[in-house]
Structure 1
């Protein structure tokens, strides 16, 4: 019942605030974040990370910041103990990929002590990190050695982006959402206290489920942005109704186990509906100003990112249920 009530709460918030959207241009990530924090003051207690992602899309004047809102919500969903007021960059992918065997960054326990805590040292690098330059915290996957089976033991370390030994290098901007920076990151003897290492297996708890969690929350952010456009440019009532239905569906999924095959099947169905919906609203962007239309056409490619990986997860879900067509 709580999940259902929570879903209705986000719908209530959207409808109550649709006439009070700040339409002035956003001047960078900090400006967007300030607007989201202002909106957060009115959040009901039942709001969760998906709700926050949606509202972050509503206050965004372009898909870039709607994406960042969803990305931020996804990281908070998998690591709920991190500071709520900080932007956290998820640092996993290396030269050989993001599978545990591809992670060569290492965490080594030392004889050092800081306060009452054992100190570890982090060395290695990450090839492609979203919003590292705009983040205050880096959530870093690293090997803490190998187990009896010879496999990497992956841990997640919480690192201050300004810590000594952290070096960021901007990488080429994507052809869409260019306002969100991407970087490679090098870690050289970075000091890591025991309390900065998150509990549990880094791969199963924080990495394996992330792409699904990210899909749910990023699409929530994008739907929030489309709701903004519908509100500002006077789109038909039926469009708003479909938007609210899609948002409600994503919110329900955000509360479930992201590793569940049933979640992958259901999410696939929601995304099919979303893609059809995006096609249906194409003519309505003619009601928007030229700059808004230009940015939407530029950034809508985000909706097709990682389709092959998503399809592979869906096929595995069907196989695990013994249902092949």
Structure 2
């Protein structure tokens, strides 16, 4: 069990053995993640899960899991979750066609197809984004349902491994008149309470996990102290963003934008340093293959930051 405090997270990063064992598969990653993050806040869980990872893929998985826990709230027991939003035309609210038909009892049924869900076939809970109708301006109204993957009417296609981080397969999802109980519907508008804030939370928690992983690597190969300390400073800033109660705030988006830019600069400095060559060749080759993951949704991030800059102060 770890403490929830930022100071104790830093103590763990600087004192834990950086010679972590190899992780064989997604199930082994989850077991490791649960063990090292017991008692931690979502932000600390991202950092500690990243530190325990043996590659970028599993660091990302820890950040993704931590972001969803920050969004949904505490669990009685740890749950692997998959956010199921993307469809054949994308994940923008206007492009979604999966429908949730509500009934008088407060529940409903979902029908539709999701083009992919990261690790969806291995999840304990699916967070399905669905359309309940249109508002006065003709825009889709969204709700999000928390349903088990074993529910009648849920089926998965063949998992597909991406060209980078292939350890984390995506899977198509089909839903046919899937029953949703009233307590399984997340309160509030699905876009404003789930889909939009998750993009901010995911960025913060994933970069926390990546920086935790780089801290472990740096300590393992003996990088100069200033590299490790710069990473710790970025972790401190991102922890504040990750734990913010207002992830939709333009001010939060501007702070996050600055921290993500600084994090990328930090990574580029590492890659161009003599110290980077101290990594095992296997790690460098895998990193070169997988680092594209950090640029996914880059256009959306840039648009979010520009919108925050354009907001009247």
User: Normalization by structure 1: what TM-score?
Assistant: 0.88
Partner of 1:98: 91
Aligned pair count reads 307
The verdict on how the C-alpha distance between 1:207 and 1:24 changes in structure 2, with shifts beyond 3 A counting, is same
Root mean square deviation of aligned Cα:
1.9
State which of 283, 296, 300 in structure 1 corresponds to 2:291. 300
Q: Secondary structure at the match of 1:317?
A: helix
Q: Secondary structure at the match of 2:94?
A: helix
* 2:38 counterpart of 1:54: no
Q: Secondary structure at the match of 1:209?
A: helix
Partner of 1:114: none
Q: Secondary structure at the match of 2:53?
A: coil
Q: Could you tell me how far 1:81 is from its partner in structure 2?
A: 5.0
4+ residue runs over 3 A deviation: 81-84, 146-151
The verdict on how the C-alpha distance between 1:82 and 1:189 changes in structure 2, with shifts beyond 3 A counting, is farther
Partner of 2:9: 10
The verdict on how the C-alpha distance between 1:277 and 1:238 changes in structure 2, with shifts beyond 3 A counting, is same
Q: Could you tell me how far 1:118 is from its partner in structure 2?
A: 5.4
2:18–2:217 contact (8 Å) kept in structure 1: no
Question: What residue ranges of structure 2 are gaps of 5+ in the alignment?
Answer: none
State which of 98, 105, 119 in structure 2 corresponds to 1:131. 119
Query: Partners in 2 of 1:36 and 1:229 — Cα distance?
Result: 17
* 2:309 counterpart of 1:318: yes
Query: Partners in 1 of 2:37 and 2:310 — Cα distance?
Result: 41
* 2:193 counterpart of 1:201: no
Partner of 2:247: 258
Query: Partners in 2 of 1:107 and 1:305 — Cα distance?
Result: 29
State which of 53, 56, 68 in structure 2 corresponds to 1:75. 68
1:134–1:181 contact (8 Å) kept in structure 2: no
| Per-residue deviation, residues 64-83 of structure 1 (Å, max 9, x unmatched) | 00001111111111111556
| Per-residue deviation, residues 119-172 of structure 1 (Å, max 9, x unmatched) | 521101111211112211110011223345543321110111122211112354
Partner of 2:172: 184
- Please give the residue correspondences for 1:237-276 in structure 2 after superposition, counting only pairs within 5 Å: 237-256=225-244, 257-276=246-265
Q: Could you tell me how far 1:223 is from its partner in structure 2?
A: 0.7
- Please give the residue correspondences for 1:275-294 in structure 2 after superposition, counting only pairs within 5 Å: 275-282=264-271, 283-294=274-285
Q: Secondary structure at the match of 1:281?
A: helix
Query: Partners in 1 of 2:176 and 2:122 — Cα distance?
Result: 20
| Per-residue deviation, residues 155-191 of structure 1 (Å, max 9, x unmatched) | 1101111222111123543221110011111101111
Query: Partners in 1 of 2:130 and 2:115 — Cα distance?
Result: 13
Q: Secondary structure at the match of 1:52?
A: helix
Q: Secondary structure at the match of 2:121?
A: coil
- Please give the residue correspondences for 1:13-52 in structure 2 after superposition, counting only pairs within 5 Å: 13-17=12-16, 20-41=17-38, 43=39, 47-52=40-45
Bigger Cα displacement from structure 2, 280-289 vs 257-266? 280-289
The verdict on how the C-alpha distance between 1:271 and 1:30 changes in structure 2, with shifts beyond 3 A counting, is same
Q: Could you tell me how far 1:267 is from its partner in structure 2?
A: 1.2
User: Normalization by structure 2: what TM-score?
Assistant: 0.92
State which of 210, 220, 225 in structure 2 corresponds to 1:232. 220
State which of 83, 88, 105 in structure 1 corresponds to 2:81. 88
Q: Secondary structure at the match of 1:219?
A: helix
| Per-residue deviation, residues 19-66 of structure 1 (Å, max 9, x unmatched) | x2453221101111111222234x4xxx42111011111111000000
Q: Could you tell me how far 1:110 is from its partner in structure 2?
A: 4.3
Partner of 1:309: 300
Partner of 1:122: 110
Query: Partners in 1 of 2:169 and 2:160 — Cα distance?
Result: 9
Query: Partners in 2 of 1:84 and 1:286 — Cα distance?
Result: 41
The verdict on how the C-alpha distance between 1:201 and 1:62 changes in structure 2, with shifts beyond 3 A counting, is same
